[in-house]
Chain A
Amino acid sequence: MTTLIAITRHELRRALRDRALPWLLVLFAALAAYGAWNGAQWAKERAATVQLITDELGPLVEMRREQLAEAPAGTWPFSSTPQLAPFRLVLRPGAMAALSIGQAEAYPYAARMIPLQDITMFDYFKVDVDNPAVRAAGRFDLAFVIVFVLPLVLLAAAFDLWSRERERGVAAMVLSQPVGPLSLLAGKALARALLVLPPVIAIVLASLIAFGASQPEGLAATAVVVLVYGLFWIALAALINVFARRSTDAALAGGAAWLAIGVLAPALALATANVVSPAPSELQFSANYLEQSRAIRKEQREARGPELPGDPAPKIPDRIRNFFKERTAEDQRLAPLVQSQLQARAERRAVLDALRLFLPSVAVQDALDRIAGADADRAVAFQSQAMSFTAQTKAWLAQRLANDQPLASEDYDHLPRFQFREAPAGAFQTGVLVDLAALAAAIAFLAAGAVLGRRSAASL
């Protein structure tokens, strides 16, 4: 242990003289700040859009109240029927949204619904009108800077940990001391980690706080993820130095590893998953849904008997009750189709999620998405909770229809309310812990590689 500390201390002194490092950190800080600003701008725009959707309710309810006020006493205008009660269900950006835009643009973030709404209530929020060329380039958020730029900074700071000594002929002198090559490499790697990772973490956290993402738990989780990801790349640089005898070779190997781990392997894994386990066809689902829905409605129309006026006439006409029954029956008959599509989507997501366990850069992206509240699971949870809420409003509607209770003006203040429930464990939710475990396993794998190649590290 004393040897390790001595090597680390010595290496720290040497590395502190590196004139390129401060510039690398300045560059990283500039990119991190720009990424966090971009993410914060996006979150601000999304919050404004969500507010716009929520605000649609005000004029709608006002109009209904005016119609109710204008209706002669004892009469119930059509707008008083509870089936028309409007709802706006929204998913607001998370407290740490400036960190990552993630998958937040790939899923609906709101729904306009009335109690008899079906799964199509999300359809409008699946479309966007922003420039696809901008979207296709990929968002430049802080997560991008962490996942892609941070490794380059770390490799630039640590690519020649040992190869430089070998190249200059100093290695022979160093190894003549009573110290093993692995202890030497570990000490040097630890020094670089101590030198680069604390400022990098500080830059990331400062960028987030400066642009409004200051949830303590989220900041702590981000710091842990950056630390573990940083250690992974430092460990990789150390492994490369076990084998590389020239700094140029080490630089090339580092670049190739960055390209393979950060870019090629995830892209190829995704391309393979697209062929082996393709996304379920949404076009086919829409067509099936429409076809079955129309067939059911046609059947219901044909089975409809003559409308018999009630005596005394109920406040809510019986045709509304019949309509409710028909839509409920339709929902029940369409449920297997919807469930099967939801199941297929979940299976596809499970395949994609499993891949991150073998791809460190994807695991980090996933963890940052989850901390930012921009992950697929949160978006899917929103859809699921929205559908549960629809079921809840249907029960509310059934009750009102059964009791023949039209909506009065004051009832609009007591409509069921939707509130999205976040993942209980917050920023340290299971998904983030799984990502961290995958990264830890990757570091252990690299360490094992270094141990196996220790003879190569000792050769000159």
Chain B
Amino acid sequence: MTAPVLVVAGNQLQLMARDNRLRLLAAAILLLVAASLATGAARLQAQALERQAATVRDQVLWDNLGPINPHGAAHAGRTVYAPVSPLAAFEPGLNDFLGSSVRLEGHSQNPSRDRPMEGGSAISRFGGFSAAWALQVVGPLLIILAGFSIFSGERARERLKQELGAGAPARTLVFGRLIGLAAAGLILLAAFALAGAAALLAGGASAADAVGLLAITAGYALYLSAFAALTIGVSALLSSARASLVLLLGFWAVATLLVPRIAPALAESLHPTPSAPAFEAAVTDEAKNGVSGHDPADERLDALKESLLKKHGVTKVEDLPFNFSGVALEFGEKNSTDTYNRHYDALFGAYRQQDDVQQAFSLVSPAMAVAPWSRAFAGTDFAAHRLFLSEAETYRYALIQKLNGDVRLNRPNTDEVYLADVSKISAGLTFKPRLTTPAEAWAAQKTNLLILAAWLLASLAFAGFAAARLERTP
């Protein structure tokens, strides 16, 4: 025999399925999501092909440099391209605001560039529609529209009195309808996930991508269920359908539209980051004058020269068993790289502080917890980009020091021009970027899952409170 709570849930689902407005709205949203998945997948495929082609061309350009001074080649530089995550069709995350390439050259650790958001127009500020965005913003709205009048309003209140009079406990009615409403939300989520899986299959996804999609779906299940519980709670608490709608829509607008905009702006005000020219000026100054500002690089290089002359028992650099200009280049590269690393660590530390401020806002908006969770498992968050930057830097440093090492070992201690085949020198070095794994995403995001779980529990408790009140004063 079916439990009464499930009977109520089934009835609620049937009622909602018969509501033409809801069916139409859900169908329209599904259609939009399917369209966004299709356009997103097409765009991703084009991006992946573009980056593959650019990688091949960069290799050809590098190999065709011909005989060249290795340090000249370090200035000519190379370009590496960020990998594309197949899940970005479902959750583009920060993709449009992250550089897709990094120019690698001597002396500089360049920020990434070629961001898709460049070169837009006024309409570009309206971008960002995706399946994930629909789940974050439109999903809760649908749940509110479907559920705000379940207990509120004259008709619903009259029906409730009859149900209670017939002996149905308020708790059974509240939680039964909550299950029905949450189930409707989860059916919509399942449809989204299936469409996402189809897009993944079309994009040649891996097992890790499937795990990522499952994790994203689990996060949204908690998120939408919390909204369902809040909606039922408010509807049970307020007898006026109008008041219930206004309150829920107000919360929705604050939680999904205003807080996600205000929180980052506030975080940036509290933990400002420098402009690119100011960052560059600070790095240049420190590379030149040392961390303390009173430790010039020139003096450190002179000290290194003296120690090498002493070690090899000679008085002139020309008499050293290697070329000192190569040593100077290696020293300079290490000096500038250490300086850049310190400054980038400080910069990314400021990003982390900003992220912490944003996470604190998840106390008023569950969207602030589900958005980073979703981005992380899709491989479209800053952690994924930082992995690419870090791999690019590791490769850059190895490449430049290999070229500098060649100057040190092979350039004669004379005035004659030294040319070498840099393609051969760098043959052993390859750049193969990887995406973040679900385990890495989990390690970074478990707090957000806990926050979402806490939101669901608090919402259920609120619905329970509303049920208790309904029992006393229907």
Contact = CB atoms under 8 A, between A and B. Distances in A.
Contact of B261 (A140, A272, A279, A294): A140
A128 interface: yes
B277 A49 contact: yes
Interface in A268-303: 268-275, 278-279, 281-284, 286-287, 290-291, 294, 298
A267 B126 contact: yes
A123 B112 CA distance: 11
Contact of B275 (A49, A102, A136, A269): A49
B382 A349 contact: no
Interface residues of A, number: 83
Contact of A267 (B119, B129, B354): B129
A134 B267 contact: yes
Interface string A26-63: 00000100100010010001101100110000000000
A21 interface: no
Interface string B240-260: 011001100100010001101
Given A52-B281, A266-B126, A131 B354 contact: yes
A353 B124 CA distance: 10
B94 A283 contact: no
B126 A345 contact: no
A41 B269 contact: yes
B307 to A, nearest CB: 31
A393 interface: no
Contacts of B246: 251
A30 B128 CA distance: 27
A134 B350 CA distance: 12
Nearest to A160: B242
A129 B275 contact: yes
A361 B347 CA distance: 36
Query: Which size class do B's interface residues fall under?
Result: 35 or more
A274 B43 contact: yes
B101 A271 contact: no
A41 to B, nearest CB: 7
Interface string A358-391: 0101110110010000011000000000000000
B355 interface: yes
Contacts of A345: 119
Contacts of B126: 263, 266-267, 270, 361-362, 365
Contacts of B113: 123, 126-127
Contacts of A110: 277
A110 to B, nearest CB: 8
Interface in B209-242: 241-242
Given A41-B269, A269-B123, A137 B117 contact: no
Contact of A282 (B64, B112, B118): B118
B168 to A, nearest CB: 26
A136 B93 contact: yes
B202 interface: no
Contacts, number: 224
A233 to B, nearest CB: 16
Interface string B371-393: 01000000001100100000000
Given A148-B257, A152-B253, A291-B57, A271 B120 contact: no
Contacts of A125: 276
A232 interface: no
Contacts of B64: 294
A134 B50 contact: no
Report which residue of B66, B124, B258, B273 has the largest number of chain A beta carbons within 10 angstroms of its beta carbon. Answer: B124
B406 interface: no
Nearest to A269: B123
A271 B41 CA distance: 11
A136 B91 CA distance: 13
Nearest to A256: B25
Contacts of B351: 131, 133
Contact of A349 (B121, B263, B279, B385): B121
A140 B118 contact: no
A334 interface: no
A285 to B, nearest CB: 10
A442 to B, nearest CB: 16
A248 B245 contact: yes
Interface stretch (B31-39, B395-403, B458-466): B31-39
Contacts of A41: 269
B191 interface: no
B129 A134 contact: no
A274 B39 contact: yes
A291 B62 CA distance: 10
Given A102-B125, A353-B121, A362-B123, A132 B382 contact: yes
Interface string B285-303: 0000000000000000000
A53 B278 CA distance: 9
A8 interface: no
Interface in B67-118: 79, 81, 93-94, 96-101, 110-118
B141 interface: yes
A369 B274 CA distance: 24
Contacts of B58: 287
Interface in B22-57: 25, 32, 35-36, 39-40, 42-43, 46, 50-51, 53-54, 57
A290 B61 contact: yes
A275 B43 CA distance: 7
A152 to B, nearest CB: 7
Contacts of A48: 275
A251 B351 CA distance: 40
Contact of A131 (B119, B268, B279): B268
Contacts of B355: 131, 133
Interface string B441-473: 000000000000000000000000000000000
A272 B39 contact: yes
A448 interface: no
A267 B127 CA distance: 5
B436 interface: no
B81 A283 contact: yes
A138 B119 contact: no
A338 to B, nearest CB: 15
Contacts of B153: 248
A365 B263 CA distance: 22
A256 B142 CA distance: 10
B308 interface: no
A133 B353 CA distance: 12
Given A52-B275, A129-B111, A375 B39 contact: no
B197 to A, nearest CB: 20
B15 interface: no
A106 interface: yes
Interface string A79-96: 000000000000000000
Given A52-B281, A271-B39, A287-B58, A128 B111 contact: yes
Report which residue of A134, A290, A348, A361 has the largest number of chain B beta carbons within 10 angstroms of its beta carbon. Answer: A134
B388 to A, nearest CB: 12
List 10 tightest A-B contacts by C-beta distance, closest first: A267-B129, A266-B126, A366-B122, A352-B121, A137-B264, A49-B275, A132-B97, A134-B264, A127-B111, A140-B265
29 contacts: A45-B275, A52-B277, A123-B113, A126-B114, A126-B118, A128-B111, A130-B268, A131-B273, A132-B94, A133-B94, A137-B260, A137-B265, A251-B242, A255-B145, A263-B126, A270-B124, A271-B36, A271-B39, A271-B129, A272-B39, A274-B43, A275-B39, A278-B43, A283-B51, A283-B54, A284-B53, A291-B57, A355-B123, A363-B122
Interface of A: 31, 34, 38, 41, 45-46, 48-49, 52-53, 102-103, 106-107, 110, 123-140, 144, 148, 152, 247-248, 251-252, 255-256, 259, 263-264, 266-275, 278-279, 281-284, 286-287, 290-291, 294, 298, 345, 348-349, 352-353, 355-356, 359, 361-363, 365-366, 369, 375-376
Given A134-B265, A152-B253, 17 more contacts: A34-B262, A106-B124, A127-B113, A129-B274, A131-B268, A131-B382, A134-B267, A136-B96, A137-B265, A266-B123, A267-B127, A270-B124, A271-B39, A271-B40, A283-B114, A286-B79, A359-B123
